[in-house]
Amino acid sequence: MPSSTSSSDSALALTRADARAGTADRYARQTAADRPGIAQPVPVRPIPEQPWGKILLGAALILVVLLCGWEAYWRSYGVTPSIANDNGLWAIQRRRIDAGEGNATVIVSSSRPFFDIQLPVWERLDGHRPIQLAFEGTSPLAFAEDLADDPHFTGRLIIGIDPQVFFQGFDFHKDAVAYARKESPSQRIGQWLSMHLIEPYLAFDDRDFALETVLARQSWPARPGKPWLVQVRKLSQSEADRNTHLWSKVENDPQYLALVRSIWHQRFAPAMDPPPEELRQTIQEQIDRLARAVAKLRARGVQVLLLRSPSDGEYLAYESRLFPRPLWDALLAASGAPGLHFQDYPELQGYYLPEWSHMTRAEAERYTAALYGVIQRDFWGPRAVAPSAPR
């Protein structure tokens, strides 16, 4: 035992001596093969003297320069800061219902009522600001079913029916419902910090301009049997309460407008249609689900209105071909809910939809006022309730 301890101590001393030695190679150290019979010590490696403070400062400056360059690039493209429309933002609005605003007017839909119904205009006319629970590219069914199962909700519900999204059952953001129920304290804190310290100031903090997104949408070599579809680009700007409008670049930049139209157009080709039998089955499933949700809502006294928002041009032609008007009539008959179709009201027609599917901000404000008038006149009428608390 003493000899073993003495050997280890000697090896450690040798290693330390090596570390202190001013040899040509400071980082070389002996291995067990070089010292037979001597236990391999814990390596002691010298750390060369470096100006670590200056290195750290230089790295920080490089990071700031790169971030400023990325921000300046997207600002020059026309991007401005906005609040990210994600599950966390949706959850904030969803919780308002369970926190005492269950008698509110709520909107569930995909992108058209989301972009085209302007909450400030509605509030000015009604005295109450709706709760916006729509999500672009997503059928409203998951959200309507969630409200149907929530006894706290007793207000008025607008269910937007955008034919392509609704009848094909697109549900890209349906996980927002589960997220709102299970959002952790750390996620809520992160959401608050992002909304107050990052999103209002940095234009590039947008999914569409993330480096990985930019790389993914490059035109990579085509793969046999797999057509290349350009993914949907940024279309809207959102605010903290999810009031949303069409991005001005879609309206004012002809090149960007042409890009957005081309993205829609690539999906209009008959070759992109789902198989007829599969589509018929999906349509019936969507109708049946909505009918069940509406029955629950109306049994609880909720006023439900189905809304077919305006579309135009090639988009309307595509929808009329694949999802003709009789499907709307079948939906109303199955659900028993009243429906408002824009083609039945002259005051809801004639608006400018640059890419055939969504209105400009100015047009959306004018449309919201007209839509509110039609709803109050023909469907709901005014209601006498105390104004909601200011937010």
- Helix residue spans in the chain (DSSP H): 2-20, 52-77, 87-98, 111-116, 119-126, 141-148, 163-167, 176-182, 185-193, 211-216, 248-252, 254-265, 276-299, 313-322, 325-335, 361-378
* 165-212: pLDDT as tens digits: 999 999 999 999 999 999 999 999 999 999 999 999 999 999 999 888
Distance (Å) of CA 171 to CA 217, 293, 371, 390: 22, 16, 26, 33
User: One digit per residue, pLDDT tens: the chain, 391 residues?
Assistant: 445 555 555 545 555 555 454 444 554 555 666 667 766 666 677 778 889 899 999 999 999 999 999 999 999 999 999 999 999 999 999 999 999 999 999 999 999 999 999 999 999 999 999 999 999 999 999 999 999 999 999 999 999 999 999 999 999 999 999 999 999 999 999 999 999 999 999 999 999 998 889 988 887 777 777 767 888 999 999 999 999 999 999 999 999 999 999 999 998 989 899 999 999 999 999 999 999 999 999 999 999 999 999 999 999 999 999 999 999 999 999 999 999 999 999 999 999 999 999 999 999 999 999 999 999 999 998 664 434 433 3
* 336-360: pLDDT as tens digits: 999 999 999 999 999 999 999 999 9
Helix or strand (DSSP H, E) at 106: strand 105-108
What is the fold, at CATH topology level, of the domain defined by 103-173+230-378? Rossmann fold (3.40.50)
The pLDDT value recorded for residue 40 is 66
pTM for this prediction: 0.84
